[in-house]
Structure 1
Amino acid sequence: MLATGRFTATAVDGNGGRTKEGCVMTTLVTGVVVIATLAAFAQALSGFGFALVAVPLLTLLTGPQTAVTVVTALGGLLALAISVHQRRHIEGRTAFLVTGAGLVGMPFGLLAITALSARSLSVLIACVVLAFALLLGRGATLSRGAGPAAAAGFASGALLTSTGMNGPPVVAAFQAMGLQPRELRATLQATFCAGDALAVLGFLAVGRLTADSLLLTAAGLPGMAVGWWLGDRIFARTDPRRFRRIVLAVLVTSACVALAQAALA
């Protein structure tokens, strides 16, 4: 079987002798590659959604703790690589404000996760994401000033530490600020870098960054590169109006996932 936190193979053949660790490992690595490909493809198209796609699928293979650790590490590496490659498209001041406000919001997310039940937290997430999607769908606009960026960053930081879903408030705010698709996508990756880096350091501090999780992270890198490459090709041919619809679809999907989690809690 696959144990939560550390995977182990215990399947025994009909003669009651050999374990089939090689077969289990091959299946697991293949699954990670496919999941990383799909998640990076989604991130390339909309600018976010890597964790939304990858965490639920990888949880089926490894359990939630390993899944969150591996996905956060992969997402951080992807965000770092894209931030460096597309740095000329980053709105530096906006990214700095969002990142700083996100650090302030993180303790409030930790407070929420300790004070609320899993079901209540999932419902709260869905309501927040749907509210951002509604504002975006109605064509709400925001200035590129410090206030909107700080508010989006604070909400993003709180959601990161409570749910891992830090993208929706930032992407909705960036859309409302009128950032063009390439600006939006590159600036999002820059803001994700800091949060993911802090999360990985936290995993290391509490012993969740194990040899197994590092192995799975390494296994996902080729698939992640392929997924981004494919998604980026489609992104380059996507006009701003269609990009906006893609972002809305990902936001609504995020809310639906949160509601499903509430129903199953």
Structure 2
Amino acid sequence: MWPTPCPPGSRCGEDLRAVGLLPGRPGPDQADRVVVVLLTAFGIVLLGTVAQAVSGFGYALVTVPLLAAAVDPRSAVVVSALTGIGSTLITAVRERAFARWRVALAVTATALLGLPAGLLVLAYAPERLLSAVIAGVVLGCVALVWSDARIRTGRVGLGAIGVLVGALTAATGTNGPPLVAAFHSLGYDPRTFRATIAATFAGTGLMGLAGFAATGQLHADVLRTALVALPAVPLGWWLGNRLFHRLDPVLFRRLVLVGLLGSAGVALAGLAG
């Protein structure tokens, strides 16, 4: 569940030896630890998919910090992208009649400009720095949504947001905060918001996966973890869609924000450790 070979300066070699995937000191109960990690990934993906289906955002913001605590930050970003693309595509297709496609396509197109910078950060940033950035983005999203912040959403504003979204897509997988603030500023109702942000996530997510493949991030351990966690996506979508039509959107948004605080707290605790 960790990348091989290990990036220079990272600690993933120690993690791999701990579960017996590299020569050296094997950890106790290797097989049990691997199973625990896989089951944990399944549960994290399930939780993130429910949040995404109900609120329109929150998948990567929930899954990346928690997966980073279970595996490592780079693997967490890629596993989240591999599993999350399914739920965003499902939402985008099912809710296509409610999406503002011109806005979604404009943001996706400009995201291409920021993607290369994000791929460089993912490939070369030290793991502790990457974990800190992930936690900071999650906390920033909570602050933006909780404060009801509004930003400029003209052509220039949306273009700048798109570039930032592209960089965050590749570097941390947590590209939701600028989109949440922008679409909230446009005054979208809950269903239009969910549909438009899903359409944007689908486009940027596919671009991100292409970038990960081109830079060698889609290795066997990441693919295996994503494959085990993938069945949680349709289950989480089914649960989240039922909740979407029954829960008060304002109440659930508050619950998601509280959950994001906990997710950021896990990332910060791992950083401190």
For normalisation by structure 1, the TM-score amounts to: 0.75
Q: 1:42 to 1:108 in 2, by over 3 A?
A: same
Q: Which of 144, 150, 158 is 1:132 aligned to?
A: 144
For the Cα contact (< 8 Å) 1:46–1:250, is it kept in 2? no
For the Cα contact (< 8 Å) 1:142–1:173, is it kept in 2? yes
Q: Which of 32, 37, 45 is 1:28 aligned to?
A: 37
Q: 1:142 to 1:181 in 2, by over 3 A?
A: farther
What root-mean-square deviation, in Å, do the aligned CA atoms of Structure 1 and Structure 2 show?
Answer: 3.8
Rounded Cα–Cα distance in structure 2 between residues aligned with 1:66 and 1:4: 7
- Output the amino acid matched with 1:197: L
- In structure 1, stretches of 5+ residues that fail to align are 12-18
Q: 2:89 corresponds to which residue?
A: 80
Rounded Cα–Cα distance in structure 1 between residues aligned with 2:248 and 2:135: 33
For the Cα contact (< 8 Å) 1:157–1:166, is it kept in 2? yes
How many residues end up aligned between the 2 structures? 253
Q: 1:199 corresponds to which residue?
A: 208
Alpha-carbon deviation of 1:244? 5.2
For the Cα contact (< 8 Å) 2:118–2:166, is it kept in 1? yes
Rounded Cα–Cα distance in structure 1 between residues aligned with 2:33 and 2:136: 38
Please say if 1:155 is aligned against 2:146. no
Rounded Cα–Cα distance in structure 1 between residues aligned with 2:209 and 2:60: 14
Q: 1:10 corresponds to which residue?
A: 20
For normalisation by structure 2, the TM-score amounts to: 0.73
Q: 1:62 to 1:152 in 2, by over 3 A?
A: same
Q: Which of 233, 236, 241 is 2:245 aligned to?
A: 236
Alpha-carbon deviation of 1:37? 0.8
For the Cα contact (< 8 Å) 1:141–1:177, is it kept in 2? no
Alpha-carbon deviation of 1:83? 1.2
Please say if 1:211 is aligned against 2:220. yes
For the Cα contact (< 8 Å) 1:5–1:62, is it kept in 2? no
3-state SS of the aligned residue for 1:136?
coil
For the Cα contact (< 8 Å) 2:86–2:233, is it kept in 1? no
Alpha-carbon deviation of 1:177? 0.9
Matches within 5 A, 1:178-189: 178-189=187-198
Rounded Cα–Cα distance in structure 1 between residues aligned with 2:46 and 2:134: 26
For the Cα contact (< 8 Å) 1:92–1:187, is it kept in 2? yes
Q: 1:264 corresponds to which residue?
A: 272
Larger Rg belongs to: 1
Q: 1:106 corresponds to which residue?
A: 115
- Output the amino acid matched with 1:118: L
Seq. identity, %: 35
Rounded Cα–Cα distance in structure 1 between residues aligned with 2:113 and 2:3: 31
Rounded Cα–Cα distance in structure 1 between residues aligned with 2:175 and 2:213: 20
For the Cα contact (< 8 Å) 1:95–1:187, is it kept in 2? yes
Rounded Cα–Cα distance in structure 1 between residues aligned with 2:71 and 2:267: 23
For the Cα contact (< 8 Å) 1:5–1:63, is it kept in 2? no
